[in-house]
Structure 1
Amino acid sequence: AQALLRASRLPGLGPSIGGGAARSYFLLLEQQGRTQGLCLLPRGTPEGSELALPGRRFALRLGQAVRFHLASASGDGAWQAGELVELDAERFVRLPALAAVLAPTQGQGQGQGQRRAEVTVELLTRMTEVGTLEVHCVACDDPTQRWQLAFQLRGAGAAESDAADATDGTGGADTGPTAHPRLAEALALLERVFGEGSQRVEAKEVRQLRAGLERLLGPREAWELALLRALFDALLARARRRRRSAEHERAWLNLAGYCLRPGTGAPLDDWRVAQLWELYPQGLQFGAESNNWSEWWTLWRRAAGGLGEAQQLELLQTVGATLEQIVTSRQASHPLKGSYDDMLRLVAALERVPQAYRAELGQWLVGRLQKTAQASGASAAGALAREGKAGAKSGGKPTEPASAWWVVGRLGARVSLYGQAQNLVSPEVATAWLQALLALDWRRVEPAAFAAVQIARVSGDRARDLAPQWRELVLQRLVEIKAPELWCRMLRERVEPDAAEQRLSYGEALPPGLRLLAG
């Protein structure tokens, strides 16, 4: 009796309390145009038990972003593992989807040309003691090859389906239950332009690709984050065919950048940006096309939020050399490296570049802008004295566009869109730039007012905020020009950016449902 009592106290041999899984869990599948559920784990399955799904084989996509959708049911249905069942909203609750990239194993190919590899697998499932549903995808031809998915279920059973959809920002090229109803048609359109095969698509059709997508999906400004990432994943899988023509390259760069902006905010965005960065060393196929260069720089500006410091420094080095070449060129035309304005906007978006680089670039730009203003004033005075016409040429003097002040505002901003506070320029440097802005006529130089607001706004951090007297000067000027009340509030208190401010700061609207937090 004593021996039995001692044995009952050993770990694992004493009495345990547990009734198995409290719910049944199902993987959602599209079958013949309708959504069905494959039972992964029936209600009552003991924790730690591994279940095979007999007679079920699946094609598993490797090396690309994919989503897995789950549903649960707490009823007493006598479902079996591997059983396909019809779903209804009364008994089944949708759970948040899992986004994943399952890497190919050795020998299955990991390059750009083999991203769409598939392998035939069977599934094994197991509920752990901590409430995680593990799904093992086991290769049929080699059981030693496994890919594991882990769904955190503890507390998820109470989730409502609309809450699951709201939190599902994933973006695999998924035509499953939460996809846009016309996504399949949009993917077919991308396949026609960028897909395999030798079919010829007229240049006009390529140029109208974006318009065709908007006819299917609605205005692109309203495309949700999940839809944008699904389109990007489809474009990424077809990246090799962007080089078919100058029109193909331009359309691909434009759409890919738009669908990935701002490079962060959705699950797997770090993977997407890493895959996109593999294309950077390849450069442009049609480098003689200035419009392609503009789309190239715009692509990297839109993806900048997901780039690391080293990648941003590499971009800055390339763009900086090109900018220097442009401003020192004595030729009438600039080198074919795209729009000067596009490159400046890209530089402003590189918020992970150390502050010393940002300060140097901003000082260079402010100096050129001040010389432009002086040259413009002298030309205007001379023209009036001669009663001549406005618009005299500067005679080789710096001619920075007024939009460059927007770039100065981004470089000197007190609040980062996605970077770290340590990369912001010092208050002393920012104050010097603000003085240059205060010397302008804000009614004539449209970007100057908002640039001053970005530099002088309240961040809530005394170490980076400007002295109060500078904020007061900016506030007085804003009142004079009847600036939006929000801009004035930003000088009195810390304000989280709204959609209108984000459009001004970022350069375009962010995807619906995505808001960058002030840093």
Structure 2
Amino acid sequence: MSENQQTPGDDDAPESRYVVGIDLGTTNCAVSFVDTLQSPWKVETFPITQWVDFGQLENRETLPSFHYELTAAERDAAKSGLPWQSDKIPDHCVGVLARDAGERHPGRRISSAKSWLSHDGVDRSADFLPWHGDMDVTRMSPVTASARYLEHLRHAWNHDHPDAPLDQQDVVITLPASFDEVARELTIQAAKQAGLKRVYLIEEPQAAFYAWIDRHRSDWAELVRPGQLILVCDVGGGTTDLTLIRVRPAGSSGDQVQFHRVAVGRHLILGGDNMDLAVAKLAEATIQSTQPAETLSGGQWERLIQASRRVKETMLAERRPASFTVNLASEGAKLLAGSVQVELTAEQIDQTLLDGFFPHVALTDQPTIGQSGFQEFGLPYAADPAITRHLAEFLTEHRRSGLDEQDQESADRPDFVLFNGGVMASAAIRNRILECLQQWFCRSGESWQPGVMSSPRLDLAVAHGAAYYGMVRRGQGVRIAANLGRSYYMQVQQDPPTAVCLIPGSAEPGQRFRADEHPLQLQLGAPVQFPLWVSSTRLADQVGQLVAVEPTEMSALPPICTALVRGRRRDETQLNVFIESELSEIGTVGMYCVDAERGKRWKLEFDIRSTLETDRTAHQGAGESAGVVDSETVEGCAEVIASTFGDQPDLQPNQIVKRLESLTETGRYDWPPTLIRELWQFLADHERGRRKSPQHEARWLNLAGLCLRPGYGVAVDDWRVQQMWRMIYGRIAFPASQSRTESMILWRRIAGGLTAGQQQQLAAPMLAILRKKNTRVEPHEATEFWRLIASLERLSVREKIEIGETALKEFPRKKNARLRPALLWALGRLGGRQPAYGPLNTAIPVDHVTAWLETLLAMDAPEPELPLTIVQLGRRTGDRYRDLPETLRERAAAFVRARGADEHFATLLTEGGALDRDEESAVFGDSLPLGIRLARA
């Protein structure tokens, strides 16, 4: 999606004096502006006031995209504050000081927020940054971090322009062309959170091209001709963005041209950050080759990455030294007695960066798939670091995009390349890409190379072009014609996978589409999921067209999950509906479910949070594919549940499970996900029946938890868990111990589907009990008490440490002999190197878990559960921030071998790997439904 405005009403507002362009970059932000009162108008760079050191303010052309939380001592040094902060002591900073102070205290700094904003594997609205932050540092979401940068820019602008505040100006914010719909929505949210009201979006490659047009206002029409193809190659700190722009004639005379954006590449989290990591890996390997030692600590690794950035920039410059020496301070006796030095040669850097990221490849080469070797930061870096291989794939798929069949004049190879992004400041990298293009497209006997559309300041070009585009919106300047460039689909059939096209690739902002050729039948009041797909290669499909789902051509989007309600009544009426879609003027996709008869519309929202869970795999149907039970059996199960919990029961609670197992001819733990979710719905329909007696309630809670475990894995499980929360939390009907115990089992079983807030509500009274001296949990409830509180993986790290320390103190006490298995299980879940379902940043720091493991090894308790606990605490992940010291893991492996544990336990400790199904069930504390797995390492 491309050029757009925030709300339709904004066009009615008076035109602002200034038009401002903001490059919200992964590594740096920049601001450009146009004062429309000047004639002729021109694009200027806005110098950004910021701290460069404590007590030292400067105006810089860029604002480094780093957020740093000040220590108590640093707050005293920063009392003077920024000009607009003079009345309060700041607790954080952004920009140069944040970047530099973070080198000394990396656990207090947030970086690459933009990459996290586009990470579809985490809840991007959740507070989890800094990813490996110190325990006393306030966590925030990628949205909030991005808003902090924009807020600083707003304050800096307002300080210089008190009569024209930024919230009253037209502001154009740039984003990668490959940002998904959720990332675009969240960028708008960040702008609103920062107090910006008149916000427009533009894709960075287009902005870079607008900057080129502006630099050539007087002669651009002489530099290009119809039929030519322009490649925009944008490699920044966090992403690689590829775009093709075709030059077409304007008007019948053919003596004028127009620019049409015809293709956009896939989203790649691949850029300068990856190159810094590669240099750091090279340096670490060089250190270890001469001074064998354990892997560098997290703190040393952070500092090495900062040094590696300087190595990269120095050694890729045109005038570079023969080598670069990195000095790395040690951390006490963890690695070496003194500081570490490593010398990296120019040849080594070329091999690592040029040959590693920009190798000579064939046009037919395809990027490798799999998992990136960089695990330290949790980001889904591209598995194949070879940018030229991704470029080859992109040009193979798209270089003929926009060609008419009769058009023999237009090129199918790039005539020009426009380089953009900080990485492209290196002449060596630019030349390598030009060499590859020449190798791919130079014909026999021809001396050909694409022309280069030069830019004097790659770090400012995107902001410059954004401001220029702001004037284009006002009818001044040269416009790029850009259609959507992606087609959107909704899956309507599972076998074979079939989808209907909702929005075609030819769509333009403001258009609306109806896929009414294929009406759907939905039930009001029941949960429903809309699996969505997007394709940047199938651009010819038309709205309403049914197509086969091809994963090689389509990418899954977060599904839309909802329950449709009409008014305040939860009707269960069957409706014929169709899907109406629109490409909004703010660059986002809007979708509505429309009643075919009455015309009532329901807005459908992307389920951002569900990307954390396996709900996203509903596109593949992992849980659903484990088996489908025939409708006659399902109806029989519904009758059994009604006969137990309905208005006229004739079945005792203790009989229901056996009756259901007899009907299905399988044990309860072998029921497939499709069946247990239907059983859960029948139980929810008869929820009032649990109030008949303590026995009814206990059985209902037990069966409902069994049928909804693990709280995710099947489409719309988020909705089911929320319904369960409304029905049960704080509403246990009988105070009997059995109901309390069964409710704890229920919450433990579905904990993976609970929000962080819900988990906090469950934990608060339990933590209060643990903190009270001489307070003891009832013995018959203690086991489930510990298993529940340890399963709440979304609690804060500080709280989890507190719970674990308490469990470790309770373990050796004689009075807790029967409780020891539960305490061991709790320690394994709390300190596990790989959370069962929670985000990786909730893992307890290594030093605490190291102490726990050493204590348990020294105790050598007889419980058979101990080896699994040791494996959870010491399991190797390949992430230096989570992995325990190698020597300790080797000791742990020897320990579990000596206890006669399966050799796979020792392998998990020394080499890593995935848990088998029985191990997963033991970690989960229950059998998992068929087809549903815990998180992988």
TM > 0.5: yes
CA–CA distance in structure 2, aligned partners of residues 411 and 269 of structure 1 = 24
CA–CA distance in structure 2, aligned partners of residues 185 and 99 of structure 1 = 31
CA–CA distance in structure 2, aligned partners of residues 165 and 415 of structure 1 = 23
Q: Give the aligned partner of residue 425 of structure 1.
A: 844
Paired residues of 2:529 and 2:715 also in contact (CA < 8 A): no
Q: 1:167 to 1:438 in 2, by over 3 A?
A: same
Paired residues of 1:119 and 1:139 also in contact (CA < 8 A): no
Amino acid at match of 2:934: L
CA–CA distance in structure 2, aligned partners of residues 248 and 489 of structure 1 = 46
Q: Give the aligned partner of residue 153 of structure 1.
A: none
Q: Percent identity?
A: 29
Q: Give the aligned partner of residue 237 of structure 1.
A: 685
CA–CA distance in structure 2, aligned partners of residues 504 and 250 of structure 1 = 24
CA–CA distance in structure 1, aligned partners of residues 491 and 843 of structure 2 = 48
Q: 1:122 to 1:312 in 2, by over 3 A?
A: closer
CA–CA distance in structure 1, aligned partners of residues 603 and 795 of structure 2 = 37
Paired residues of 1:458 and 1:492 also in contact (CA < 8 A): yes
Matched, 1:302 2:749: yes
How far apart are residue 49 of structure 1 and its match?
Answer: 8.0
Paired residues of 1:102 and 1:147 also in contact (CA < 8 A): no
1:102 to 537, 548, 563: 563
CA deviations on 1:304-343 (whole Å, 9 max, x unpaired) are 11112221111111223345679635xxxx659x621011
How far apart are residue 264 of structure 1 and its match?
Answer: 1.4
2:595 to 113, 132, 138: 138
Q: 1:191 to 1:281 in 2, by over 3 A?
A: same
Q: Give the aligned partner of residue 268 of structure 1.
A: 716
Q: 1:99 to 1:184 in 2, by over 3 A?
A: farther
Paired residues of 2:618 and 2:715 also in contact (CA < 8 A): no
Q: 1:68 to 1:269 in 2, by over 3 A?
A: closer
Q: 1:165 to 1:266 in 2, by over 3 A?
A: closer
Paired residues of 1:185 and 1:216 also in contact (CA < 8 A): yes
Amino acid at match of 1:118: E
345-354 vs 427-436, greater mean Cα deviation: 427-436
How far apart are residue 400 of structure 1 and its match?
Answer: 6.0
Q: Give the aligned partner of residue 655 of structure 2.
A: 208
CA–CA distance in structure 1, aligned partners of residues 514 and 896 of structure 2 = 67
Q: 1:66 to 1:208 in 2, by over 3 A?
A: farther
Matched, 1:316 2:763: yes
Q: Give the aligned partner of residue 477 of structure 1.
A: 895
Secondary structure of the 1:265 match is: coil
Written as runs of structure 1 = structure 2, the 5 A alignment for 1:277-292 is: 277-288=725-736, 290-292=737-739
Paired residues of 1:59 and 1:118 also in contact (CA < 8 A): no
Paired residues of 1:246 and 1:286 also in contact (CA < 8 A): yes
Amino acid at match of 1:187: A
Q: Give the aligned partner of residue 830 of structure 2.
A: 411
Paired residues of 2:706 and 2:746 also in contact (CA < 8 A): yes
Q: 1:51 to 1:270 in 2, by over 3 A?
A: closer
Secondary structure of the 1:272 match is: helix
Paired residues of 2:515 and 2:579 also in contact (CA < 8 A): yes
Amino acid at match of 1:514: I
Matched, 1:167 2:620: yes
Secondary structure of the 1:402 match is: helix
Unpaired segments ≥5 residues, structure 1:
18-24, 29-39, 42-46, 70-80, 82-91, 151-163, 172-176, 373-396
Paired residues of 2:562 and 2:604 also in contact (CA < 8 A): no
Q: 1:6 to 1:256 in 2, by over 3 A?
A: farther
Matched, 1:187 2:638: yes
CA–CA distance in structure 2, aligned partners of residues 49 and 250 of structure 1 = 50
How far apart are residue 495 of structure 1 and its match?
Answer: 0.8
Q: 1:123 to 1:357 in 2, by over 3 A?
A: closer
How far apart are residue 99 of structure 1 and its match?
Answer: 8.1
Paired residues of 1:323 and 1:340 also in contact (CA < 8 A): no
Unpaired segments ≥5 residues, structure 2:
1-249, 259-402, 406-489, 494-499, 502-506, 532-543, 552-558, 584-588, 606-616
Q: Give the aligned partner of residue 506 of structure 1.
A: 924
Q: Give the aligned partner of residue 356 of structure 1.
A: 798
Paired residues of 1:221 and 1:509 also in contact (CA < 8 A): yes
How far apart are residue 417 of structure 1 and its match?
Answer: 0.9
Amino acid at match of 1:189: V
Q: 1:139 to 1:193 in 2, by over 3 A?
A: farther
CA–CA distance in structure 1, aligned partners of residues 732 and 926 of structure 2 = 24
343-352 vs 426-435, greater mean Cα deviation: 426-435
CA–CA distance in structure 1, aligned partners of residues 753 and 856 of structure 2 = 31
CA deviations on 1:193-212 (whole Å, 9 max, x unpaired) are 233xx31335x3x2111111
Amino acid at match of 2:915: P
Q: 1:94 to 1:291 in 2, by over 3 A?
A: farther
Q: Give the aligned partner of residue 819 of structure 2.
A: 401
Q: 1:243 to 1:327 in 2, by over 3 A?
A: farther
CA–CA distance in structure 2, aligned partners of residues 508 and 201 of structure 1 = 30
Q: Give the aligned partner of residue 384 of structure 1.
A: none
CA–CA distance in structure 1, aligned partners of residues 711 and 574 of structure 2 = 32
Paired residues of 2:623 and 2:932 also in contact (CA < 8 A): no
Paired residues of 1:64 and 1:233 also in contact (CA < 8 A): no
Paired residues of 2:709 and 2:750 also in contact (CA < 8 A): yes
CA–CA distance in structure 1, aligned partners of residues 847 and 491 of structure 2 = 59
CA–CA distance in structure 1, aligned partners of residues 859 and 851 of structure 2 = 14
Amino acid at match of 2:892: V
How far apart are residue 295 of structure 1 and its match?
Answer: 0.8
How far apart are residue 226 of structure 1 and its match?
Answer: 1.9
Secondary structure of the 2:710 match is: coil
CA deviations on 1:441-480 (whole Å, 9 max, x unpaired) are 35x2222222112112212111221112211211222222
Q: Give the aligned partner of residue 430 of structure 2.
A: none
Paired residues of 1:369 and 1:400 also in contact (CA < 8 A): no
Paired residues of 2:622 and 2:932 also in contact (CA < 8 A): no
CA deviations on 1:202-241 (whole Å, 9 max, x unpaired) are 5x3x211111111122212222222222222222233233
CA–CA distance in structure 1, aligned partners of residues 804 and 927 of structure 2 = 24
Secondary structure of the 1:101 match is: strand
CA deviations on 1:471-504 (whole Å, 9 max, x unpaired) are 1211222222221011010111121111021012
Secondary structure of the 1:446 match is: coil
Amino acid at match of 1:191: A
Amino acid at match of 1:138: D
CA deviations on 1:37-75 (whole Å, 9 max, x unpaired) are xxx99xxxxx98868789x9x985223224799xxxxxx
Q: Which has the higher strand share?
A: 2
Written as runs of structure 1 = structure 2, the 5 A alignment for 1:449-488 is: 449-488=867-906
Q: 1:256 to 1:367 in 2, by over 3 A?
A: same
Q: 1:169 to 1:210 in 2, by over 3 A?
A: farther
Paired residues of 2:711 and 2:751 also in contact (CA < 8 A): yes
Amino acid at match of 1:420: P
Tell me the matched-pair count: 419
How far apart are residue 124 of structure 1 and its match?
Answer: 4.8
Written as runs of structure 1 = structure 2, the 5 A alignment for 1:61-100 is: 61-66=523-528, 100=561
Q: Give the aligned partner of residue 377 of structure 1.
A: none
Q: 1:355 to 1:500 in 2, by over 3 A?
A: same
